[in-house]
Amino acid sequence: MIRVSGLSRQYGEALALNRVSFEIPAGQVCGYIGPNGAGKSTTVKILTGMLRPTEGTAEVAGFDVTANPLEVRRRIGYVPETGPLYQLLSVMEYLTLVGTLHHLPPDEIHTRATKMLQLFCIGDSANKRIDTLSKGMRQKVVISAALIHDPEIILFDEPLSGLDANASRTVRDVVRGLADQGRTVLYCSHVLDVVERLCDRVIILNKGEIVADDTPTALMAAAHRGTLETVFRSLTSDENQEQTAKEFVDVVRSRGTQQ
Ligand code: ADP
Ligand code: MG
């Protein structure tokens, strides 16, 4: 379970998150979507205990993130939107390091890591150095590392980044399967058709505030609009996007006329 109450975060003068509250029960996949800069990653970083809120509280698996960050870290599986991987380690060395930090026995780490890599079709890369992998392969390692200790709470920030269609499908089904077995999932993504199909519930964040919180079906029905993408646009964009694209093309093509 994740419980967030009156959560705010300022960076200097800028308010990135403004009194956000929600509760995600065990077994639920909650999509967390919003335009770039809406505050999604800030929320997730607070939930991991990496970032302190300026105001409000966040509780993960029954532990306050500020008071008990270590208890929280034990129970979360976190896929950061970007983040350092230990580039010079091999895939297996990295997964072993992560498993060891979670106090898993070495043989169990090896068995789990080997199986996960096989299922992601990168079994033969287990001994390759991480800095020699493609972006998508690296993302598979990040996801495997996030799940190796069977976390109670799953915090995925754009997990499909760089993944091919097969791997995306696998990750989607894994997330669903883990939620069906009682795990709690906060799923940040810009891939709205996946969010629409995968999530039991969707929170839309805009400029640090929640502007919608419901099931995908209810959001789409209430807005009389066809897809989650159109709902998203109507709640978070005040611009005419066709016009924006046209003007963008004009800017790109304007060089010759200015010379
Ligand atoms: P999202 O993940 O929804 O794209 P973020 O949570 O990363 O948004 O960012 C929300 C806002 O906070 C943005 O305006 C961003 O520029 C700002 N921000 C994020 N991290 C920092 C930081 N470390 N220092 C200053 N501003 C930040
Ligand atoms: Mg982000």
pLDDT of residue 248: 87
For residue 44, report the distance from its CA to the centre of ligand 1, in Å: 11
**How does pLDDT run across 23-73, given as a tens digit for each residue?**
999 999 999 999 999 999 999 999 999 999 999 999 999 999 999 999 999
**What does the pLDDT average to over 209-234?**
89
Q: How far apart are CA 49 and CA 66, in angstroms?
A: 6
Q: Which residues pair with 79 in a beta bridge?
A: 156
pLDDT of residue 155: 98
pLDDT of residue 224: 77
For residue 213, report the distance from its CA to the centre of ligand 1, in Å: 21
pLDDT of residue 223: 76
**How does pLDDT run across 165-178, given as a tens digit for each residue?**
999 999 999 999 99
Length of the chain: 259
Q: For ligand 1, atom 24, which residue shows the shortest CA distance?
A: 11
pLDDT of residue 241: 79
- Ligand 1 contact via 82 beta carbon (within 6 Å): no
**What does the pLDDT average to over 100-128?**
96
> Would you list the domain boundaries of the chain?
2-84+151-258
Residue at 151: amino acid letter: P
pLDDT of residue 87: 82
Residues with CB under 5 A from ligand 2 (ion): 40-41, 81
pLDDT of residue 225: 67
- Ligand 1 contact via 140 beta carbon (within 6 Å): no
Please give the model's pTM, rounded to 2 decimal places: 0.93
In ligand 1, the atom with minimum distance to the C-alpha of 44 is 6
For residue 65, report the distance from its CA to the centre of ligand 1, in Å: 19
pLDDT of residue 151: 97
**DSSP code per residue over 38-66:** SSHHHHHHHHHTSS--SEEEEEETTEETT
Q: How far apart are CA 117 and CA 66, in angstroms?
A: 34
CATH superfamily of 2-84+151-258: P-loop containing nucleotide triphosphate hydrolases (3.40.50.300)
Question: Which sign, positive or negative, has the C-alpha torsion 119, 124, 126, 131?
Answer: negative
If one compares 133 and 84, the residue with the highest pLDDT of the two is 133
Q: pLDDT above 70 covers what percent of the chain?
A: 97
For residue 36, report the distance from its CA to the centre of ligand 2, in Å: 7
- Residue 158's CB is within 10 A of a number of other CB atoms, namely 19
Q: Is the model's pLDDT at 123 over the cut of 80?
A: yes
Alpha helices (H) along the chain: 40-48, 69-75, 91-101, 106-119, 135-147, 165-180, 192-198, 216-222, 228-236, 241-253, 255-258
Q: Which residues pair with 185 in a beta bridge?
A: 29, 154
pLDDT of residue 240: 80
Structure tokens at 102: 């979670």
